[in-house]
Amino acid sequence: MKLDPTKVVMLIPSLEPDERLPVYARALLDRGFARMVIVDDGSSEAYQEIFSRLDAMEGVTVVHHEVNKGKGVALKTGYAHIAQAMPEAVGVITADADGQHTVEDCWRLAEALCEGKDEMYLGSRDFDLDHVPPKSRFGNKTTSAAFKLFYGQWLPDTQTGLRAFPAGWLQFMQDVKGERFEYEMNVLIACARDRKAMVPITIETVYENQNAGTHFKPVRDSLRIYKVILGNFITFSAASLASGLLDFILLTLLGTFVFHNLTHGAGLAKIIARCISAPVNFLLNSKYVFGKNIRPRTFIRYIILAVLIMLVSSVLVDQIMIHLNLPKFIIGIVGLLVDLVLYFVSYRVQSQWVFQEEKKNAE
């Protein structure tokens, strides 16, 4: 059943806005949006007159933070208010306060949302246009590539503030970690991990005065965003290093002091060392990397993946050496390169299959 776009709530976080915000809010109301929540994220007294005018508009609710808490917290405040005060809402659209998201694009996302699908819609800018600042083009394409590498989906605009999602997602959105600009990246990662559909919709690419009105700090906030994207992989690498070090120590001790007199002592020592280090790696990944509860099914998947990775690695090294007719002394380098590629594959598979909980059947 097609839903009513007028029951989609517009949510706009704002810090010290200019006169564009009241004009933007009025245009959204005139287009057909009946409910709007604007979160004042700790703006100074000089800006309260603007918020008073906004609050006086029919259909607009202004929620205030006494101090600046960050865009992520402002969005969560808005989500909580909508969930509590607007139970009739069918969905939420977030937009930026500088008006760079056009009214028609907001309405297009509302119409997409009202198809009733369990999806998030992302208003995606075209960064190949001539008027896009080079730094913005490079930064967004780099971020999109990193997101594709680590989370498996190409999103042409990972930093868009124009997003639409069903009202049923409100609690999920509040549970995502993050307080400032990094929160929006955390949302994309959480959706990718939980296999929630994210659908890009091309929108008008607006850069007024090189985005002079934005509160985004390029260096500081970009570092926060990349910390979010790479953070899990770095933790994954640390867990691998720790378990690899344990494997090395056990192999050395067992091979030197326990099985040193056996003909196949080295192989036996390797098997025992791996049988200990592998569960340790599984435990580290469960608790610190993917944050999932330990379940027998998950461990079985982990073992299956480990065996497959080992077999694929062996076959690839063997076939590369044979078909390229490479000298035997570089087999170690070939093995290292193959394992490096498979390491990224392992991370992706663990993220999207091994530690992925089964989706519950729709009610």
Structure tokens at 256: 């030197």
Q: Look at residue 176 and tell me whether its pLDDT is greater than 70.
A: yes
* DSSP secondary structure, 25-65, as one string: HHHHHHHT--EEEEEEES--GGGHHHHHHHHHSTTEEEEEE
Please indicate, yes or no, whether residues 180 and 40 belong to a single structural domain of this protein.
Answer: yes
The residue range of the domain holding 172 is 5-216
From CA 160, how far away is CA 158, in angstroms rounded?
6
Please indicate, yes or no, whether residues 20 and 167 belong to a single structural domain of this protein.
Answer: yes
Q: Which pLDDT score is estimated for 3?
A: 72
Please indicate, yes or no, whether residues 246 and 125 belong to a single structural domain of this protein.
Answer: no
Please indicate, yes or no, whether residues 43 and 181 belong to a single structural domain of this protein.
Answer: yes
* Contact in structure between 44 and 16 (CB atoms under 8 Å): yes
Please indicate, yes or no, whether residues 40 and 134 belong to a single structural domain of this protein.
Answer: yes
Q: Which pLDDT score is estimated for 151?
A: 87
Q: 222 pLDDT band (50/70/90 cuts)?
A: low
Q: Look at residue 273 and tell me whether its pLDDT is greater than 90.
A: no
Please indicate, yes or no, whether residues 73 and 179 belong to a single structural domain of this protein.
Answer: yes
Q: Which pLDDT score is estimated for 292?
A: 72
Q: Look at residue 40 and tell me whether its pLDDT is greater than 70.
A: yes
Q: Look at residue 363 and tell me whether its pLDDT is greater than 50.
A: no
Poorest-confidence range of 15-24, 230-239, 322-331? Answer: 322-331
Please indicate, yes or no, whether residues 57 and 125 belong to a single structural domain of this protein.
Answer: yes
Q: Is the pTM of this model over 0.95?
A: no
Please indicate, yes or no, whether residues 200 and 234 belong to a single structural domain of this protein.
Answer: no
Report pLDDT digits (tens) over 12-26: 999 999 999 999 999
Residue 103 belongs to domain with CATH number: 3.90.550.10
Q: Which pLDDT score is estimated for 360?
A: 47
Q: Look at residue 83 and tell me whether its pLDDT is greater than 80.
A: yes
Poorest-confidence range of 19-28, 110-119, 216-225, 318-327? Answer: 216-225
Please indicate, yes or no, whether residues 186 and 246 belong to a single structural domain of this protein.
Answer: no
Please indicate, yes or no, whether residues 17 and 43 belong to a single structural domain of this protein.
Answer: yes
Q: 28 pLDDT band (50/70/90 cuts)?
A: very high
Contacts by residues 64-67 (CB-CB < 8 Å, ≥ 24 positions apart): 64/39, 64/40, 65/39, 65/40, 65/41, 66/42, 67/42
Q: What is the tally of structural domains in the chain?
A: 3
Report pLDDT digits (tens) over 178-198: 898 789 999 999 999 888 999
Q: Tell me the pLDDT of the chain averaged across its residues.
A: 87
Please indicate, yes or no, whether residues 132 and 112 belong to a single structural domain of this protein.
Answer: yes
Q: Which pLDDT score is estimated for 357?
A: 65
Please indicate, yes or no, whether residues 343 and 231 belong to a single structural domain of this protein.
Answer: no
- State which of 243, 258, 291 marks the end of a domain: 291
How many other C-beta atoms can be found within 10 angstroms of the C-beta atom of residue 70?
20
Q: Which pLDDT score is estimated for 251?
A: 83
Query: Residues in the chain, how many?
Result: 363
Q: Look at residue 200 and tell me whether its pLDDT is greater than 90.
A: yes
- Amino acid identity for residue 272 in this structure: I
Q: Work out the percent of the chain whose per-residue pLDDT is above 70.
A: 91
Q: Which pLDDT score is estimated for 362?
A: 39
Q: Which pLDDT score is estimated for 111?
A: 94
- State which of 198, 216, 234 marks the end of a domain: 216
From CA 139, how far away is CA 120, in angstroms rounded?
23
Sheet holding 35-41, edge to edge: 60-65, 35-41, 8-14, 91-94, 163-166, 119-124, 197-202
- State which of 263, 291, 319 marks the end of a domain: 291
Structure tokens at 32: 């057909």
Report pLDDT digits (tens) over 119-172: 999 999 988 787 777 777 887 888 888 899 888 899 999 989 999 999 999 999
Q: Look at residue 238 and tell me whether its pLDDT is greater than 80.
A: yes
Q: 106 pLDDT band (50/70/90 cuts)?
A: very high
